[in-house]
Amino acid sequence: MVIKDERQSSIFTITIKREKVEQIPTLEVPLVFSDKQSVYEYLDPVNGIIKYGPYDINTSDKHLSRKFRGVELFVFYPKNEEIVYKTLNDLIYILREGYFERRGSHDISFRGFENEFRLKFFMPENKEFISYVPGNLRKELESRKNNFTQVFERENRPIVIVGGTSHRSIVKNREQYLESKLQFTNLDLPCQYASYYEYETGGAGILYNALRKNRPLGYSLWNLALNIYGKVGGLAWVIRQGLSKVGQVIDLSIGIRFVPSRVQRGFIIGYLTILDSFGRLVGVVSSPPFKVQVEKEVAGMVVPKEVMENIVLEALKKAGSDVRVKEIFTEKETINIAFHRLSIFHPQEIRGIVSAIDKCHRSGKMKIEYALIPIIDKPPTLVFNKLAENWNALRGTAIRLDDRVAILYTAGTTRTTDRSALSYPITVIAQNLAEENCPFTSLEEVCHHVYSLTNLHWQTVIPGSVRLPATLEFAQNIANLASFKILPKEDSWLWHTLWFV
């Protein structure tokens, strides 16, 4: 659970300047699947992967290229859940052989995991599926540890598909979902939950849909495959984060989110996710539990200076220890960092960040410029486009509210003829814009940066379905799982994967 008031109250800090209210031209950011891809080629994830394959097989960058040969699948299901077993069987078959049915107009084919992601995919026969008694999964895994570790010896990566009747977003049987996440993560194994459920409000799990011939399955399969690829450490696409200053990019984007400790009442834990200039996840750091401060003048909570300083310092060290980032750091005179969080940075938090940066200055030669970018997921208001069929503001629409504040549509329709429901924008605040150490030169540039990071939606192939940039989205996922004590060990290989999506 994310601290609620963070998201609720920060919009009240905004002052709208009426003469400044205008549309900001936004920059459409291409997803990059290959270094050889044309500059003008704008592809959605499905078409990009079909045409080029995932980015990490197409790059000459030794740090970004794929390090494994294939993926080995293990399948688990709860004992006596015959429907889960049966539908898992169907799903695994489709993942191997592909899906070419057209169940309605909004469907898409899938040529099988091996073909689409261009790697070896080892799947068990249905008799090799492993049943377990919910609540006793740990015991079931004890005798199988060797099977998992042997995968690495074959230069492959393991992933577990767990079938079940729950889902992370529903309450029913949630303990099954949490148990599987916890036990497999403890064993350093990425885990993909496949659900057999149906929402009353529409939507259903992939196993539920697999069984029904009238339910489109193509996009669900693509999403599942993309999740699997990310969870074993694959990099499906990247983005470029350019700045108007020639040759300058945002080298690191750091998202900060907080979650209440479930162990110590009244205490908070902070999680920072670090992305490099390509959007690659460099690492995650967390703070020890700390007591939150509340000030009446401030909307939301205040992080103590020392806490902020320590976690930022740790994040910078973590980034510096990454081989590829280290290389870039040594080549550059100035490193540009963007800090994202869900509410305004309080002066004492800023002092903490500055202090951490100063310590880095002293230990290295490079200069660090930093941007403080609160990104509030609750918008102050909505925008309508009268020329669009349903008046929906298009994805990418940005409206300046004053010199440092804009609302930005990161999700929703991409064409004026789309008939989908309205989406809600996010609020982007360039808190230290125009200050000496800020790498951005305009609010437009900040919006481009945030918008580009919403294109790292590695959990779904559907553009415009994730509102927050990857920095905060990833940090939220990790914070949520961590609140249930689901976290890989410090030195786990999972930290180089999207184990949390």
Chain residues binding another protein by CB under 8 A are 9, 11-18, 21-30, 32, 35, 39-40, 42, 171, 200-201, 240-242, 246-247, 249, 277, 296-299, 380-388, 390-394, 396-397, 399, 416, 419-422
Q: Which is it for strands 191-195 and 156-164: parallel, antiparallel or unpaired?
A: parallel
Nearest distance, CB of residue 401 and another protein, angstroms: 9
Question: What would the DSSP string read from start to end of 54-120?
Answer: -GGGT---TTTS---SEEEEEEEEETT-HHHHHHHHHHHHHHHH-B----SSS---B--HHHHHTSE
47 vs 89 by CB, closer to another protein: 47
37 vs 192 by CB, closer to another protein: 37
Residue 395 CA to residue 463 CA, distance in Å, equals: 9
247 vs 266 by CB, closer to another protein: 247
Task: List 294's β-bridge partners, or say none.
Answer: 301
Nearest one of 190, 196, 193 to 178, comparing CA atoms: 193
Two tokens, residue 415: 């064409």
Q: Which pairs from 40-44 meet CB under 8 Å and 24+ separation?
A: 44/461, 44/463
Nearest distance, CB of residue 411 and another protein, angstroms: 13
Nearest distance, CB of residue 94 and another protein, angstroms: 30
| Single-letter code of the amino acid located at 172 | K
214 vs 417 by CB, closer to another protein: 417
Question: What would the DSSP string read from start to end of 205-249?
Answer: -HHHHHH-TTS--HHHHHHHHHHHHHHTT----B---B-SSTT-B
Nearest distance, CB of residue 461 and another protein, angstroms: 21
Nearest distance, CB of residue 246 and another protein, angstroms: 8
Nearest distance, CB of residue 30 and another protein, angstroms: 6
Nearest one of 468, 294, 296, 267 to 379, comparing CA atoms: 468
18 vs 62 by CB, closer to another protein: 18
17 vs 212 by CB, closer to another protein: 17
112 vs 439 by CB, closer to another protein: 439
15 vs 105 by CB, closer to another protein: 15
Residue 421 CA to residue 193 CA, distance in Å, equals: 28
Task: Identify whether the C-beta of residue 232 lies closer than 8 Å to the C-beta of residue 190.
Answer: yes
309 vs 377 by CB, closer to another protein: 377
| Helix 82-97 and helix 218-231, axial crossing angle in degrees, nearest 10 | 80
Contacts of 153 (CB under 8 A, 6+ apart): none
18 vs 365 by CB, closer to another protein: 18
Nearest distance, CB of residue 392 and another protein, angstroms: 5
Nearest distance, CB of residue 451 and another protein, angstroms: 10
Residue 433 CA to residue 283 CA, distance in Å, equals: 27
178 vs 388 by CB, closer to another protein: 388
Residue 19 CA to residue 402 CA, distance in Å, equals: 8
263 vs 382 by CB, closer to another protein: 382
Residue 317 CA to residue 439 CA, distance in Å, equals: 20
Nearest distance, CB of residue 328 and another protein, angstroms: 12
Residue 489 CA to residue 493 CA, distance in Å, equals: 9
Instruction: Return the SS3 of 441.
Output: coil
| Single-letter code of the amino acid located at 71 | V
Nearest distance, CB of residue 258 and another protein, angstroms: 20
Nearest distance, CB of residue 383 and another protein, angstroms: 5
| Helix 347-363 and helix 305-321, axial crossing angle in degrees, nearest 10 | 40
Task: Identify whether the C-beta of residue 438 lies closer than 8 Å to the C-beta of residue 371.
Answer: yes
Centre a 10 Å sphere on the Cβ of residue 427 and count the other Cβ atoms it contains. 22
Residue 465 CA to residue 111 CA, distance in Å, equals: 23
Nearest distance, CB of residue 317 and another protein, angstroms: 26
Two tokens, residue 160: 């577990």
